[in-house]
């Protein structure tokens, strides 16, 4: 049976670990030709021998590299903008440098990648009638929920939702859908780093689990299916929406 993404070309940013990795793996298993990218080339070794996946290092803060990569690839059916960074702290802890870094990585990089991808997506739609799907990584933290010590993170992820709706509105009649996902707390390597940065990591993990009503964290593999759905034509009528997968955090 052909996979749900058979015949589609996908680009995933920050695919080296966590949700980007899980999504790239599930996209490939569903038959997409996946271009898995990450700032850290060593992490991309995890894709060695995986069918349908080719890898290339890509720092999404490097505008020229993002444009060159998208230019070199065939038109994208799927662009999954996953890269992002969690700054810990309130407004009092956020320096202008922290602000710029988070906004550049979490929001501006999406603008650059989408701007580079859209012309070829439009041309593909004109030529073939195919629709492209852009999926942006937002978070429960942001316009959905205010969380303590997530000042610039929440600000940036709220902006991702605005960006998503704006792009969706501009191309709703032109063959491009754009949606965002909003995960709750997901057990990924960077979450482990955030937990280990606390003086008492055991207590910190307990706190992260406590804010999840199901009493556990998500696995990255539990977030990937919503991205597969949004990438596939199964979600053909969905655009400009935010899909929360948060274990009940926002009930």
Applying CB under 6 A, the residues found at the interface with ligand NAD are: 13-14, 16-20, 38-40, 43, 58-61, 82-84, 86, 105, 137, 139, 183, 185-186, 188-191, 220
Residue 133 tokens read as 């799907």
State whether residue 234 is helix, strand or coil: helix
102 alpha-carbon distance from chain centroid: 14
For the chain, helix, strand, coil in percent to 5 are 45, 15, 35
The greatest distance separating any two alpha carbons of the chain, rounded to the nearest whole angstrom, comes to 57
Least Cβ distance, residue 125 to ligand NAD (angstroms): 27
Q: Of 29 and 86, which CB lies nearer to ligand NAD in the complex structure?
A: 86
Q: Of 83 and 124, which CB lies nearer to ligand NAD in the complex structure?
A: 83
The residue annotated as part of the active site, out of 131, 153, 171, 243, is 153
Q: Of 124 and 195, which CB lies nearer to ligand NAD in the complex structure?
A: 195
User: Helices (H), strands (E): how many in the chain?
Assistant: 8, 7
Residue 225 tokens read as 């299916």
Residue 203 tokens read as 């207590």
What is the Cα–Cα distance from 171 to 83, expressed in whole angstroms?
23
How many residues does the structure list for the chain? 251
153 is catalytic: yes
Burial class of residue 130 in the structure, from the number of CB atoms within 10 Å of its CB (0-12 exposed, 13-18 middle, 19+ buried): middle
Least Cβ distance, residue 164 to ligand NAD (angstroms): 13
Q: Of 20 and 75, which CB lies nearer to ligand NAD in the complex structure?
A: 20
Residue with tokens 């979600």: 235
What is the Cα–Cα distance from 34 to 198, expressed in whole angstroms?
36
What is the Cα–Cα distance from 146 to 64, expressed in whole angstroms?
34
Element (H, E) at 24: helix 18-29
Q: Of 110 and 124, which CB lies nearer to ligand NAD in the complex structure?
A: 110
What is the Cα–Cα distance from 110 to 134, expressed in whole angstroms?
10
Residue with tokens 């997409």: 32
Least Cβ distance, residue 58 to ligand NAD (angstroms): 6
Q: Of 124 and 136, which CB lies nearer to ligand NAD in the complex structure?
A: 136
Least Cβ distance, residue 174 to ligand NAD (angstroms): 27
Catalytic residues: 153
């Amino acid at each position: 049976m052909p996979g749900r993404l058979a015949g589609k070309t996908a680009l995933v940013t920050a695919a080296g670990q966590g949700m980007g990795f899980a999504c790239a793996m599930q996209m490939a298993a569903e038959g997409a030709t996946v271009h898995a990218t990450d700032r850290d080339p060593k992490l991309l070794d995890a894709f060695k021998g995986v069918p349908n996946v080719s890898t290339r290092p890509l720092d999404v803060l490097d505008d020229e590299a993002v444009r060159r990569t998208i230019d070199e690839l065939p038109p994208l059916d799927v662009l999954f903008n996953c890269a992002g960074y969690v700054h810990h702290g309130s407004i009092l802890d956020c320096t202008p440098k922290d602000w710029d870094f988070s906004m550049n990585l979490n929001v501006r990089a999406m603008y650059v990648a989408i701007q580079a991808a859209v012309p070829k997506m439009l041309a593909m739609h004109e030529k073939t009638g195919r629709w492209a799907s852009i999926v942006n990584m937002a978070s429960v933290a942001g316009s959905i929920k205010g969380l303590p010590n997530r000042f610039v993170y929440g600000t940036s992820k709220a902006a991702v939702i605005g960006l998503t709706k704006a792009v969706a509105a501009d191309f709703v009649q032109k063959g491009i859908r754009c949606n965002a996902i909003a995960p709750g707390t997901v057990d990924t390597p960077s979450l482990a780093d955030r937990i280990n940065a606390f003086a008492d990591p055991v207590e910190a993990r307990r706190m992260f689990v406590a804010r999840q009503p199901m009493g556990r964290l998500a696995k990255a593999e539990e977030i990937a299916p919503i991205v597969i759905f949004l990438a596939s034509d199964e979600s053909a009528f969905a655009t400009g929406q935010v899909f929360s997968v948060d274990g009940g955090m926002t009930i």
